[in-house]
Amino acid sequence: MKTAIADISDENSVKAAIQEGSAFLNKSINCLVNNAGIAQPFLEGTQLQRIQSWQNFISTNLSGAFMMSEACLPFMPHGDASIVHISSVRAHFAEPNSEGYGSAKAGLIGLTRAQAVSLAKHVRVNTVLPGWIDTSGGSMEVTDEDKEWHPVGRIGRPEDIAEAVLFLADSSKAGFITGQELSICGGVTAKLVYPE
């Protein structure tokens, strides 16, 4: 495995990392998964701190995905390449103080649709919207109530997202799918919730 380190909010850093990675991959990138980002979804602190947090969410979670895409495009084979953005169900559902995170993740859906149309003959572009995914490796405490909140009776696992991304990346299986969003949330977004 070869890794390249980049600050995805910095265009020059992104370009350098993609140049390094593409050289390792014989100048060919079949799939880009834009998964990097700030995960803490809440704006906190003073007004100045909230504005700075907003700018960080947008520059990292949204602009970073755009810059990564732009840097990879010259190395993507025509008609057999895929970009998969990782958004969030929070693009459609909000909690207090989630303006920066939710807006950036909703922006990824707009970016997906625009790129899918602009790049239609060259690259397929889709987005995955994870719900609650246990990324702690099983060390996070999950209650029965947490599980029951999900119609499927459990919270998500990283492999749920990985399988969706692999499917969308594979042109032999998803070659006619572009510009779409796929929610991986255990049915939470389909559930009607009444106030208690």
Q: Which residues are catalytic?
A: 101
Q: Is residue 78 within 8 Å of residue 28, measured between CB atoms? A: no
- CA dist 156 and 86 (Å) reads 15
Which letter, b or e, does each residue of 22-36 get, where b requires 16 or more Cβ atoms within 10 Å of its Cβ?
Answer: beeeeeebbbbbbeb
Q: Could you tell me the two tokens for 112?
A: 């997906």
The whole-angstrom distance between residue 155's C-alpha and the CA centroid of its chain comes to 18
What are the backbone angles phi and psi of residue 183, rounded to the nearest 5°?
Answer: -85, 130
